[in-house]
Amino acid sequence: MNSGAGRPDEMVLVHGAWHGGWCWQRVVERMATTGSYRTWTPTLQGLGSRRAELTPDAGLRAHVDDVVGLLEGEDLTDVVLVGHSYAGFVVREAADRVPERVRGIVMLDAWAGHDGESMADRAPPWFMDAMRAAAETSGDGWAMPALPAEVLGVTDPADIAWLAERCTPQALLTFTEATRLTGTVESIPHAAIVCHEAGIPFRAWAEEFGWPVATIDCGHDAMVIDPDGVAKLVDAAVATFGPARRR
């Protein structure tokens, strides 16, 4: 959170699989009321408004490049990176590449791995079996169709329709490409926010890495379902990272 005088803190919110920067709209609106953060919501290659860029090669590395490119291109420092779901892999690798720009990382119901691991390595077998089968059936073997919003814990009919209109297919390579970490990322403060357990061990991963864990009482797409709760818990997590170095 902003400690008082000076410009707002920088926060980059990175969406998960099949989504785009648009999915953070409600959280950003809540954060705007405090003036504590200047928020950035990039859309990763091949998704959302960049769906025309979807190719079999639009994998994890391309998405890390997107985030690093934003941090360097806008010369952002003391940044809080927030990664939802798949973007846990994205923000951790991005932070490992430019640690001097990152103040802390918030993992929102997020996947996490060690150097050389991919999401596929960390996933239960049933999960990747389903992803590969869906890509084979509906995506020429390489594009995974978006999961129904109901699978992501969304129950409100209006929200289900909103997500169905906006979610787009994603390259299977994002789930199978191994992360590259030097280990520097582990020296950056992390905090985890976990939702209802739905077959993916987000809490267990956070505990494995030794991160403090907060719980939000909703389904996986928390930024859509409970944006107030997400905004408050992210703000609380940032408070544990200590003051920004530029202050």
Q: Which residues are catalytic?
A: 85
For tokens 């280990």, name the residue. Answer: 183
State the SS3 of the chain: CCCCCCCCEEEEEECCCCCCHHHHHHHHHHHHCCCCEEEECCCCCCCHHHHHHCCCCCCHHHHHHHHHHHHHHCCCCCEEEEEECCHHHHHHHHHHHCHHHEEEEEEECCCCCCCCCCHHHHCCHHHHHHHHHHHHHHCCCCEECCCCHHHHCCCCHHHHHHHHHHCCCEECHHHHCCCCCCCHHHHCCEEEEECCCCCCCHHHHHHHHCCCEEECCCCCCHHHHCHHHHHHHHHHHHHCCCCCCCC
- Angle between helix 87-97 and 60-73 (nearest 10): 50
Which residue's structure tokens are 């490992």? 96
Answer yes or no: are the C-beta atoms of 41 and 13 closer than 8 Å: yes
Judge residue 208's burial from the number of C-beta atoms within 10 Å of its C-beta, 0-12 exposed, 13-18 middle, 19 or more buried.
exposed
